[in-house]
Structure 1
Amino acid sequence: MKKLVLFDLDGTLTRSDTLLDFFKYVKGTLGYYIGMFIISPYLILYKLKLYPNWKAKEKALTYFLGGRTQEEVQVLGRQFAVEIIPELLRPRGLQKLNEHIEAGDTVVLVSASCEQWVEPLAHQWGVDSICTRLQVIDGKITGTIEGRNNYGPEKANRVREKFNLENYQEIIAYGDSRGDREMFELSTHHFYKPF
């Protein structure tokens, strides 16, 4: 029986949001808190539902990563995937992920976090990934999202683009937030906050 298994990363497989953890990794703890203070007006507006998720995210990406070279951010992302993410993982989530891999299921990390660390992490595990991509101009990260933020409806759209869902007898999804709802709607079975 052919299975497609979709795992959200942040809050589902990990105990925290890897985007924020990556900002801290890049800037250090003090630099992270200074940056969060500087962009806090946008974060407050987002929390009050007066500013869209993707725009607040772009403000943060621009502050923390804008102007850095693509190569530098890719190196940092690979290091972060190896050095930091293992400490953030939920043991039961990792166990379930490994069970699906060992069963020969098609396993995909479907994340709103960025390709710079999601793709190296997926590569380590030997699974596929669908994640947010960052715009690069003249070899530098701008802080703008390329295309759409991989959140909510976009998760479902990107899964449909990448896979012919009719080829799978079962589609299983694991997630922990509103951003996973449309991905759940694609599935035959889904698990909310499972680990």
Structure 2
Amino acid sequence: MNLALFDFDGTITTREMFPDFMRFAVSKRRLLVGSAFFAPMVLGYKLGIVSGSTIRRHLINFGFSGVHADRFEKIGKQFSDDVLPDALRPMALERIRWHKAQGDVVVVVSGALDVYLRHWCRTHDVDLICSSLEVENGRLTGRFRGAQCVGAEKSRRVRETCKLDDFPVVYAYGDTTEDFDLLSIAHKKYYRWQEVA
């Protein structure tokens, strides 16, 4: 039995799903105000000046601060059911099926949010390590609960959750620099679906 670690956005899906989820989950009024307010930051992200984790932190705070947790849960389930199926990469689903047929433990390790990934992973019978949002008194605070599951946090959480020495071979699949730490703990590394040394 081996271990297979999959990034989600851009690896299992054909694109990053965070913008799609924001458009799906945030009210039109907030989106309109936010698109003007965050335009310079988005430009900085596209130019490589602003990190993905920084922009996500600010957008999460703006988009979800004060939202009822129950409503957020319903939105996450609906997004998982209605949007994710059309964004999945057939090659990734085939690889997940292959690992499961071998009896491997398959874990999605993602910076994306548990509010929708939890449902997707349950449907596909795979484990999950990811980011989640903080809730106080039944409402979202607009902050992440703990660190975002990106960069070195991915490999830290995997080590915390899985005893790597128990697996003869560890596979890891990723597509951005935020996945490099995850790939570094694997015996077999795949970056943008190409095996790398």
Instruction: Tell me how far 1:29 sits from its aligned partner.
Output: 7.6
Contact preservation (8 Å) 2:3, 2:105: yes
Bigger helix fraction: 1
SS at match of 1:148: coil
Amino acid at match of 1:60: L
In structure 1, stretches of 5+ residues that fail to align are none
SS at match of 1:10: coil
Contact preservation (8 Å) 1:42, 1:59: no
What is the root-mean-square deviation in Å for CA atoms of aligned residues? 2.0
Q: What's the counterpart of residue 144 of structure 1?
A: 143
SS at match of 1:9: coil
SS at match of 2:140: strand
Contact preservation (8 Å) 2:107, 2:127: yes
Amino acid at match of 2:70: E
Give the structure-2-normalised TM-score: 0.90
Contact preservation (8 Å) 2:64, 2:142: yes
Instruction: Tell me how far 1:12 sits from its aligned partner.
Output: 0.6
Give the structure-1-normalised TM-score: 0.91
In structure 2, stretches of 5+ residues that fail to align are none
Q: Within 2, Cα distance between the matches of 1:90 and 1:23?
A: 21
**Cα 1:150/1:84, change in 2 over 3 Å:** same
Q: Within 2, Cα distance between the matches of 1:12 and 1:34?
A: 31
Q: Within 2, Cα distance between the matches of 1:50 and 1:32?
A: 23
Q: What's the counterpart of residue 123 of structure 1?
A: 122
Q: What's the counterpart of residue 157 of structure 2?
A: 158
Q: What's the counterpart of residue 170 of structure 2?
A: 171
**Cα 1:16/1:154, change in 2 over 3 Å:** same
SS at match of 1:187: coil
Q: What percent of counterpart residues are identical?
A: 28
Q: Within 1, Cα distance between the matches of 2:36 and 2:7?
A: 28
Amino acid at match of 1:194: W
Amino acid at match of 1:76: I
Q: Does 1:66 pair with 2:65?
A: yes
Instruction: Tell me how far 1:40 sits from its aligned partner.
Output: 2.1
Q: What's the counterpart of residue 102 of structure 1?
A: 101
